[in-house]
Every structure is written in C-alpha cells, then in structure tokens.
Amino acid sequence: ALSDTVIDGHTGVIQLDDNRQAIGNIYITEIVQQSDGSLISELVEVVEGVNQTLGVDAQPYLDLGAFDRENPNCDVIRDQFSGGLPAAEEASGAEFGPLTIGGVAILEGAFAALGEDSIRGIQMAIAEYGGDVAGRPIERITESSDATPDVAVNAVRKLVEQDGVDVIVGPLSGDEGIAIKGYAKTQPEITFVNGVSGAQDATLRDPADNFFRFNTDGTQWMAGLGTYAFSEKGYAKVAT
C-alpha cells in the first residue's frame, strides 16, 4: 500500500516509481539583484514529473554507469534527452499494539542542526495525525548517527534488533542511505522510509523492496538546470 501512496505536498504531487523512488517537480531558481541592491531567489522554471532516470528508459540509463566528472559524455546525454522529460505516470490509487518509529539522524558534529530538524519533522508528522494511525498509538525512539555508513547502520540495527521498531525513518547523508538500503534487505518485515538522503543508488541500483524514498534524489534536483543555463543564460562552460 505504501508503494501506491500519492502525496500532495508543498512542492506538488509526489508518487513513487517501481523502485519506490519519488517522482516529483523540480524548481529552478536564480539569484537576482533587486533595484535596492539586495539579492532574492527567483523561480524561473518548473520541471514537472521528474523521474529518477530523467526521462531516459531505465536500462540505457543504467548502462551509462555511475556519473562523475568524466562520465557520461555530454553528447551521449544530449542524445538520450532528445525526447524530453515525460510527465509522471499516475499511481494506483486496534487489533495491534503501538506502531513504533525509529528515527535516525545526525545529532552530533557539524550537521547536528540538520539532524535536529529531521527529528522535529518526525515529531510534527506524528502530531499532525494525532499521535496514532489506524487506531494504533505511535511511539518514537531516536538514535544518533555521525554521517558515516557504519555508525548509521549500527544505529538502525539497534532500533530494529533491540528496540523492535516497526518503521525506520532516516538518514541524512547519501552514504548512510546506501548503507541502510543494504541493511534493509536483511529485514524484509521492517519498513524503511528515507529521510533526506539524496544518493541516487539508494533506490536506483539494486533497490530494496522495503526501502521507500518520498523525496527526489540529488540527480533529479538538477533536472532542467543545464538546459536553462545553456539556452536561456548562454553559459557554455560551468565550474563545479
């Protein structure tokens, strides 16, 4: 049922593909100087229904290999995108004890503030639904990570194997997400909901059936940006 969930959120409608990865809208913004000299972020374009392979069929996209500064060749990408980005497909539409959610976030070090925001997000979601779902009261247990895969997996393992949670929500960083995806495969009865980890391979390659991501990934965030920079701004070279 979770795979068929459709969320009408503040960024538009979000639904999941066959790998349980979000399909959603991407918003391209530009920093613009106003007449008084101040800078604002101005929305310049909305790219609707961006999937994880950016409109390219899954297998040809996977055949390109992992993306880096040298791969793939820009000519190859241009050829693959010749058909444009398709619109998202439509997604199909008290007997138990408490539902226990285990939250994993970075609560120490440089990213602690972001981790605290993640936990507050879980708290807000629970409060929005009145602290229960389908008649089951929701309980929450939190564990801290430090942005490294090993620590993240150990935190999740503790929540699952010692605390007996039903659902895992997290993590923050990309490497953590890939590692937790791997652990999820060993715990098929537990539901894993990605936090804000943006690593593409958490869902694109060798996905876990019980790992769900309702946010777009780092590659999807770039959809349409190159076309706008080249066609509208005339940028031919970009330093990254």
How confident is the model over 54-94, as pLDDT tens digits? Answer: 888 888 888 888 877 777 776 665 565 555 444 444 433 24
How far from chain centre, in Å, is Cα 73? Answer: 26
Angle at 198 between CA 222 and CA 91, to 5 degrees: 80
User: pTM for the full model?
Assistant: 0.80
How far from chain centre, in Å, is Cα 10? Answer: 15
How confident is the model over 16-29, as pLDDT tens digits? Answer: 999 999 999 999 99
Rounded Cα distance between 74 and 63, Å, is 15
How confident is the model over 86-132, as pLDDT tens digits? Answer: 444 443 324 678 999 999 999 988 889 999 999 999 999 999 989 99
Is the Cα torsion angle 25, 67, 44, 79 positive or negative in sign? negative
**211 burial type by CB count under 10 A (0-12 exposed, 13-18 middle, 19+ buried):** buried
How confident is the model over 142-177, as pLDDT tens digits? Answer: 999 999 999 999 999 999 999 999 999 999 999 999
